[in-house]
Structure 1
Amino acid sequence: MLQTSRKGQWFQIIIPQKWEGLTLDDLFRHKWEAPKKLTHFFRMEHKVLLNGNNANWNNPLIPGTKLQLNLFEEEESEIPASYFEIPILYEDDHIIVFNKPPLMSTHPNQINLEKDTLLNAAVFHLQTNGEIRNIRHIHRLDRDTSGAILFAKNALAGAILDRMLEKRTIKRTYVAVVHGLLNSKKGTLHFGIGRDRHHATRRRVSSSGQDAVTHYQVVKVDQGKKLTYVKCWLETGRTHQIRVHFSHIGHPLVGDTLYGGQPICNRQALHAAKLEFIHPFTEEQIICYAPLLDIPTIFKGVDVYSL
């Protein structure tokens, strides 16, 4: 874990021994893998200091030096703020993890018409705490899916987390309820996923689709109702991936009428129960568990803290 602190608009990192020999250019481009445009912005706008002075981006970094990044300037958001009481699982100056309720969209498709999304609520939360920031979501959840979802409060944190998501180092664990009794207690579903040309929002398994891998493990079986509760974790993050994969093998999610599930609850039975990642700046391991929100619960007897 790195030694860090906040100084007003500036975020300070004490250069660790393991960064010795790296230049600022190396740090931004290769370690953090920040986009060229963002790196250029930090460089040209003098938003990076070393021991309080303008930095030479090509000189090797010296352990113990104070690296200061201007990360906390006010940024007006285009997203209107709306009040919703959303549980927060983790928050600091750079990131926030919400426990998204079911039946709420992650973000508006039309900014001026939709004001009841999680992003609207996130903007409101920051503004009430005096943070005027352009907050952005790192990944999304379907409207009906509940659970842990990660947001970045500044562009550099967002860029680093985007790369981590691409490299699959952000681990998301879901719990789902599917129809029928699975033959195996654990397994891997590896089927490409593409658009269904006959339906605007539906996806389908396709040999020419995007590669998609879902791992699962049975956590509970309801013999009487012929339902199986499964823990799932993804190597990829395709749209509707868990829903499409389980429907494809004949075990659609309960409540998921789009993919063949029976409407015995008011949404598809899918919850993002656990989120694990390394903090983009402190390098601390963050693990968030998202308590179940449905009343009455559709995941009866499932303990998210044991997943």
Structure 2
Amino acid sequence: MSALRGCTVLHLDNHVLAIAKPAGMPSCPDDTRDPDALTCCKDFLKERFDKPGRVFLGLVHRLDRPASGVMVFARTSKAASRLSESVRERNTKKVYAALVRGCLSEGGNLEDYIRKEQNRVYVTSTRSQGTKLAQLDYKPMFYCERNQLTLLQVHLHTGRKHQIRAQLAQFGHPIVGDTKYGGRHNLWAGASPDDRGIVSQIALHAHRLEIPHPVR
């Protein structure tokens, strides 16, 4: 593995590049013009292989800017097509770790409908025009009674924008630090600088992504 402007390269072959994206970095260029994962990875490949001209790298999925974790990019157009099809057909397994407010002693599943409005999504229990189905499973891994926090393992079945954040908030257990969806941001007030690293931006991390290799 190698460091890459805050990212870490997890896997590299002729068809696929997998990285760990840090919290706070956009997946691709946006209006802020801040360094983004896609551009950083293109620069890395250009330098690594001394490539002239522009480098192709296909964005096949996204990870919310304030979240951290695994991302996969396609190095060829054929790989991009096949990986995108796997994502579209839900032939993937996405597992996240989320630190949420409140006590959850048992696992379960959430099935809602999500409606996107500008840069925010809204959750409803009933289907209506403009909504999309959102499904996830969750399992408690650890509970901190003192701070009333639960660490969840979340298995995402549908990949909607802000899905985990919005559904858990609607469920009454917002993600720590996620002020957009009701999570308090002052949990680590008074903590040492080292302790603050426990939660960077929001406490949501994509720690496993399983997807068929595009050529194997």
- Specify the alignment match of 2:194 in structure 1: none
* Residue number in structure 2 paired with 1:44: none
- Higher fraction of strand: 2
Among 184, 188, 191, which residue is 2:109 paired with?
Answer: 188
Q: Hey, what does 2:43 align to over in structure 1?
A: 124
Distance 1:165 1:92 in 2: 20
CA separation of 1:243 and 1:87: change in aligned 2, threshold 3 A: same
TM-score, normalised to structure 1, is 0.61
Q: What's the CA shift for 1:133?
A: 2.6
**Equivalent residue of 1:212, what SS?**
strand
**CA–CA separation in structure 2 for the residues paired with 1:216 and 1:115:** 33
Residues 33-44 of structure 1 aligned to structure 2 (within 5 Å) = none
Residue 9 of structure 2 corresponds to: 88
Is residue 201 of structure 1 aligned with residue 201 of structure 2?
no
After superposition, residues 1-307 of structure 1 pair within 5 angstroms as 84-110=5-31, 114=33, 116-130=35-49, 131=51, 133-182=55-104, 184-196=105-117, 200-206=118-124, 207=126, 208=128, 209-263=131-185, 264=187, 265-282=199-216
- Matching residue's letter, 2:11: Y
Amino acid at match of 1:165: V
State the structure with more CA Rg. Answer: 1
SS in 1 for 2:132: coil
CA contact (8 A) 1:133 1:154 kept: no
Q: For 2:60 and 2:123, how far apart are their aligned partners in 1?
A: 25
- Which letter does structure 1 place at the counterpart of 2:207? A
Give 3-state SS (helix, strand or coil) of 2:211's partner: strand
Tell me the equivalent position of 2:193.
none
TM-align CA RMSD: 1.5
Shift of 1:115: 5.2
Aligned residues: 194
* Contact 2:23-2:200 at 8 Å conserved across structures: no
Report the TM-score when normalising by structure 2.
0.85
Give the SS at the match of 1:128: helix
Question: What is the CA deviation profile of residues 162-184 of structure 1, one whole-angstrom value per residue up to 9, with x for unaligned ones?
Answer: 110111112111000000002x5
CA distance in 2, matches of 1:161, 1:278: 8
Structure 2 unaligned residues grouped into runs of 5+:
188-198
Greater relative contact order, per chain length (Cα 8 Å cut-off, separation 6+): 2
**Counterparts in 2 of 1:85 and 1:253: CA distance versus 1, 3 Å:** closer
2:58 partner amino acid: R
Q: What is the alpha-carbon distance in structure 1 between the residues aligned to residue 23 and residue 90 of structure 2?
A: 25
